[in-house]
Amino acid sequence: MSQSTAARNGHFGIAVGRRTVVLAIGAAVLVALVGGLVVATFQRQEDERRLRQAESSFEKANDTIERLLTRIGQERLKGLPQMESLRSELLEDALQFQLGLLTDHSDDPAVLFRVARAARMAAGLQVQLNRLDEAERTCRQALTILDDLTARSPRELSYRRERASVLDTMGLALATLGRISDAEAAYRLAMEVRGLIVMEVPGSGEDRWRMAVCLDHLGVLCRDAGRWDEAEHFFVRGRQLCLANPPSSPADPRVHQELVTILGHLSQVLMNRGRWTEALQGYAHAVRVQKALVQASPRTSAYRELLVTLLLSQAGALAANRQPDQAERTLVEARELSQRLRADFPAVPAYHELAATVLSNLANLIRTDPARAAEARAILDTAIALQEQLVAMAEAVPEYRSKLASMCDSLANLLRAQHRFPEAESLYRKELAYQSRLAADYPQVLAYRFGHGQVLHNLADLLRERGRPAEALPLEREAVRLLSSVYQSNVRNPDYRTAISYAWWTLCAILIDRKDHRAAATAIAEYLRLEPNGYEESFEAAEFLCRCAQIVRADPAVPADQREPLARSYADRAIDALRTAIRNGFRDAKHLESDPAYAPIRDRDDFRRLIQEIEAMTETTGATS
Mean pLDDT computed over 593-616: 94
What is the three-class DSSP state of 468?
coil
Q: Taking residues 46-68, report their average pLDDT.
A: 49
Those residues with Cβ within 8 angstroms of residue 336's Cβ, 6 or more apart along the chain or in another chain: none
**Res 532: pLDDT:** 72
Residue 224: pLDDT above 80? yes
Cα torsion angle, 307, 309, 315, 321, sign? negative
Taking a C-beta distance cutoff of 8 angstroms, is the pair 514, 548 a contact?
A: no
Is the Cβ–Cβ distance between 120 and 64 less than 8 Å?
Answer: no
144-148, 342-346, 605-609, 621-625: the lowest-pLDDT one: 621-625
Asked if pLDDT for residue 454 goes beyond 60, the answer is yes
pLDDT at res. 253? 81
CB 588 within 8 A of CB 535: no
Burial tier of 622 (Cβ tally within 10 Å: 0-12, 13-18, 19+): exposed
Query: For 452-467, what is the mean pLDDT?
Result: 98
Cα separation values, 397 from 73, 338, 340, 409, Å: 14, 21, 24, 19
* Percent of all residues in the chain with a pLDDT value above 90, rounded to a whole number: 64
Q: Which of 118-127, 490-499, 584-593 has the lowest mean pLDDT?
A: 118-127
Q: How far apart, in whole angstroms, are the C-alpha atoms of residue 528 and residue 464?
A: 22
Residue spans of alpha helices (H) in 244-300: 253-272, 276-296
Query: Residue 312: pLDDT above 70?
Result: yes
Q: What is the pTM assigned to this prediction?
A: 0.73
Q: What is the 3-state secondary structure (H, E, C) of 292-341?
A: HHHHHCCCCHHHHHHHHHHHHHHHHHHHHCCCHHHHHHHHHHHHHHHHHH
436, 444 contact by CB (below 8 A): no
- Alpha helix segments (H runs only) across 514-535: 517-527
Q: How confident is the model at residue 574 (pLDDT cuts 50, 70, 90)?
A: very high
Give the pLDDT confidence of 335-370 residue by residue, as tens digits.
999 999 999 998 888 899 999 999 999 999 999 898
Judge whether 61 and 98 are in contact, CB under 8 Å. Answer: no
Domain 57-71+85-200, classified CATH 3.40.1190.20, yes or no: no
Residue 59 reports pLDDT greater than 90: no
> CA–CA separation, 582 vs 577, rounded Å?
9
393: left (phi over 0), alpha (psi -120 to 50) or beta: alpha
Residue 299: predicted pLDDT: 86
Tell me the pLDDT tens digit for each residue of 171-182.
Answer: 999 998 889 899
Q: Give the pLDDT of residue 396.
A: 79
Q: Which residue has the higher pLDDT, 374 or 22?
A: 374
Band of pLDDT at residue 230, cut at 50, 70 and 90: very high
Residue 412 has pLDDT above 90, yes or no: yes
The predicted pLDDT at position 183 comes to 95
* Stretch 8-25: mean pLDDT: 42
State residue 17's pLDDT score. 46
Quick one: residue 419, left, alpha or beta (phi over 0 = left, psi -120 to 50 = alpha)? left
Q: How confident is the model at residue 14 (pLDDT cuts 50, 70, 90)?
A: very low
pLDDT digit string (tens) for 271-291?
A: 988 999 999 999 999 999 999
- Among 212-216, 250-254, 521-525, 604-608, name the one with the lowest average pLDDT: 250-254
Q: CB under 8 Å to 328, separation ≥6 — which residues?
A: 315, 362, 365, 366
Residue 30 has pLDDT above 50, yes or no: no
Domain residue ranges in the chain: 57-71+85-200, 515-625
The pLDDT value recorded for residue 248 is 46
Distance CA 122, CA 176 (A): 17
Letter string b/e over residues 12-29, b meaning 16 or more CB atoms within 10 A of that residue's CB? eeeeeeeeeeeeeeeeee
Average pLDDT over residues 153-162: 93
Mean pLDDT, the chain, whole residue set? 85
Using CA atoms, how far residue 611 sits from 430, 533, 591, in Å, is 48, 21, 10
pLDDT of residue 33: 46
pLDDT the model gives residue 98: 56
Question: Nearest to residue 187, comparing CAs of 207, 212, 206, 204?
Answer: 212
**Chain segment 79-136, per-residue pLDDT in tens:** 444 444 555 556 556 555 655 555 555 678 888 888 888 888 888 888 888 888 989 9
Q: In 3D, which of 586, 567, 568 has the Cα closest to residue 578?
A: 586
